[in-house]
Structure 1
Amino acid sequence: MTDLLALLPLLVALIGVLGLLIGSFLNVVIHRVPRGESVVSPPSSCPGCGERIAAYDNVPVLSWLVLRAKCRRCGERISARYPLVEAATGVAFAGVALVFLPPALEATTTPDALAAIAQLLAFLVLAGSAVALAAIDLDTHRLPNPIVYSTGIAGLVLLALAVLGDAQAGDLGRALAGAGILFAFYLALALARPGGMGLGDVKLAAVLGLYLGWVGWGALAVGAFAAFLIGGIVGLLLIAVRRARRGTGIPFGPWMLAGAWIGIVAGEPLFTGYLDAVGLV
C-alpha cells in the first residue's frame, strides 16, 4: 500500500497528460457538436487554408507555443482558446486524480480497487464534459443533449460499478436521490420563471445532482448553493463593467459546473463546518 501511494505524484502527472490529450479532442467537440457536425471526420484542418493539421502540429499546448499561435502554412491566427481548453482539461484531470486516485491505491482487495477505479473514471468523465459544456454554453448559450445525456449515462454506469466494492451500497441511492432533487428544483425554477432557466440547465442539474449526491448530502447542498452564489457574483460584475444589464441572458451552465466541483471537492467539510458554526452539530 505504501509503495503504491508513493506512485501518486507520477500517476497524477500521467493522468494530467492524458487530460491534455483529451482536451485536444474536446476542442473538436466544442466546435462541431453545436453545429451538428461529426467529431470523427473530417480530420482537423486550418480554417484559413484548409490544410489538414499534421500530428506534429497537434501536440496539446506545445504546438500552439512553437507555432506562435499561427498556422504553419498560411499564417492564420490560432485562437488562444485551444491551448486554454487543453490546459484546463489537463489540470482538471490531475485534480480529479489527486482526490479520487488514493482510494484505488489504498484498496486491499481487487473488488475494492476496481470500485475505486470506476469512481475515478466517473469523475474524469465529468471533468472532461464540464470543460466542453462550459465552453459551449459561453459560446452559444446551449448545453447540447448528446454531451449532457452521455455524461449522465456514463456516470450512472460507472458509479453503479463502484457500488460493487467497499460496501458503498447507500451511495448510489443517495446519488439517484440527489439527481431527482436537483432536477426537480431546477424544473420548478424554469416553470416559475419561463425564459429565466433553460431546459438544458434542468437536464444538467440532474447529472450534477447524481455526482453530488454520490459524494454526500453536504456536497449536494453546497454545490447547489455555490452555483447561484458564483452566478450572482459574475452577473453583478458584468453589470458593473457594463457588459450586461438587468435582464440580460447570462449562461448559467458554467456556474452550475463550477459550483458542483466546489461541492464535490469541499462540500462535505464546508457543510459540516457550517452546521457546527450555527450549533446544529
Structure 2
Amino acid sequence: MKYLIAFIFGTIIGSFLNVCIHRIPKEESIITPPSYCPKCGKKIKWYDNIPIISYLILKGKCRNCKEKISIQYPLVELLTGFLTTGIVWKYGISVTSFYFLLLTYVLVVVSMIDLKTMLVPVKLCYFAMIAGILFSIFVPSISLKDSILGASFGAGIILFIIETYYILKGKEGMGYGDANVMAVIGAFLGWEKVLLTIFLASLIGAVWGIIFMILRGKNSQLALPFVPFLSLATYVTIIFGNELISWYTGG
C-alpha cells in the first residue's frame, strides 16, 4: 500500500511537472492559468486531467479540438511515479525521501526541457541549488558544509572540462548549463558523490553515444543533451551510491 500511494503521488506530481516542462521555456507562470490544451487553448476539465488514466480514456486526443496530445504527458507521469516509488523503497517515508524527491523532480523537468530545446533553465537550477543547500540542515545524510562544497565542486569540474575541451579542440563540447545542473546535483548529494555521478553519467553517455553512432553511421555528428545522462546517473547514485562506493573501496 505504501508503494502504491507513492506511485499515485508521483504520477500526480508528474502531471504538474508536465506543466513546468511546457511553460518554463516560454517564461510563463506555472501556477496560472489552469491547465489548458496547447493546441486549442481550452481549459482542461479536472476529469480530463487524471494522470495516465485520462490520456488512455481520451485515446491521446483533446476532448475539445480532437488534436493529438503528446505522448510525453503520460510518459512523464509514469516515469515520475516509478522514480517516486524507488526513492520511497530506499528511504521510506522520511525527510531524506522528500529531499531526494525534490532533486528528482527538478531533474525530470530540466532533462525534458534539455531534450526538447537543448537549453537549461538557469533560474530553476539556481533556486533548486539554494533549496538543496538550505534544506540540507534537516537531512541526516548530508551536512550544510558538504552541500555547499558539493555545489561548488560539481560546477567546478564541469567548467574545467568545458574550458579544457575548448582549449584543445577550439570549440565547446558541453554547454555551461550542464555546470548549473551539476551545481544542483552537488548541493543535494554532497561533494563525495559528485565524482561518482559524473563518472556514471560519462559512462552512460559514452555507451549511448556508441549506439547512436552505430545506428546513424556517418551522420553521427549531432549534439546530444548531457543533462538526461547526468539525471540518470544522479538517480542511480541516490539509490545505490553508498553501495557502489563501498564496493569500489573494498568495503
TM-score by length of 1: 0.81
Q: Distance in 2 between matches of 1:275 and 1:244?
A: 41
1:34-72 Cα distance to aligned partner (Å, 9 max, x none):
111121222222233332111100000000001111111
Query: Within the alignment, does 1:67 sit opposite 2:74 as a pair?
Result: no
Specify every segment of 5 or more residues in structure 1 that has no aligned partner in the other structure, as ranges.
1-9, 105-116
Tell me the equivalent position of 1:211. Answer: 188
Tell me the equivalent position of 2:77. Answer: 86
Q: Distance in 1 between matches of 2:237 and 2:47?
A: 39
Tell me the equivalent position of 1:161. Answer: 138
Q: Is the Cα contact below 8 Å between 2:132 and 2:147 reproduced in 1?
A: no
Tell me the equivalent position of 1:145. Answer: 122
Q: Distance in 2 between matches of 1:153 and 1:93?
A: 22
Query: Within the alignment, does 1:100 sit opposite 2:91 as a pair?
Result: yes
What is the identity, as a one-letter code, of the residue corresponding to 1:196? G
Tell me the equivalent position of 1:179. Answer: 151
Instruction: For residue 32 of structure 1, report the CA deviation from its aligned partner.
Output: 1.0
Instruction: For residue 89 of structure 1, report the CA deviation from its aligned partner.
Output: 1.0
Q: Is the Cα contact below 8 Å between 1:220 and 1:267 reproduced in 2?
A: no
Query: Within the alignment, does 1:201 sit opposite 2:201 as a pair?
Result: no
Instruction: For residue 155 of structure 1, report the CA deviation from its aligned partner.
Output: 1.6
Instruction: For residue 245 of structure 1, report the CA deviation from its aligned partner.
Output: 4.4
Specify every segment of 5 or more residues in structure 2 that has no aligned partner in the other structure, as ranges.
167-171
Which residues of 2 match residues 1-281 of structure 1 at below 5 A? Answer: 10-101=1-92, 104=94, 117=95, 119-163=96-140, 171-194=143-166, 195-213=172-190, 217=192, 219-242=193-216, 245=219, 247-276=221-250
Q: Distance in 2 between matches of 1:68 and 1:99?
A: 35
Q: Distance in 1 between matches of 2:143 and 2:137?
A: 9
Q: Distance in 1 between matches of 2:175 and 2:107?
A: 17
Instruction: For residue 246 of structure 1, report the CA deviation from its aligned partner.
Output: 5.3
Alignment partner of 1:241: what SS? helix
Q: Which moved more, 1:175-184 or 1:252-261?
A: 175-184
Q: Which moved more, 1:77-86 or 1:33-42?
A: 33-42
Aligned residues: 246
What is the identity, as a one-letter code, of the residue corresponding to 2:195? A
| Larger Rg computed on CA atoms | 1
Alignment partner of 2:174: what SS? coil
**Once superposed, which parts of structure 1, at least 4 consecutive aligned residues long, lie more than 3 Å away?**
243-247
Q: Is the Cα contact below 8 Å between 2:19 and 2:30 reproduced in 1?
A: yes
Alignment partner of 2:66: what SS? coil
Q: Distance in 1 between matches of 2:218 and 2:235?
A: 26
Alpha-carbon distance change, 24 to 191 in structure 1, aligned in 2, over 3 angstroms = same
Tell me the equivalent position of 2:169. Answer: none
Q: Is the Cα contact below 8 Å between 2:100 and 2:238 reproduced in 1?
A: no
Q: Distance in 2 between matches of 1:245 and 1:260?
A: 30
Q: Is the Cα contact below 8 Å between 2:212 and 2:220 reproduced in 1?
A: no
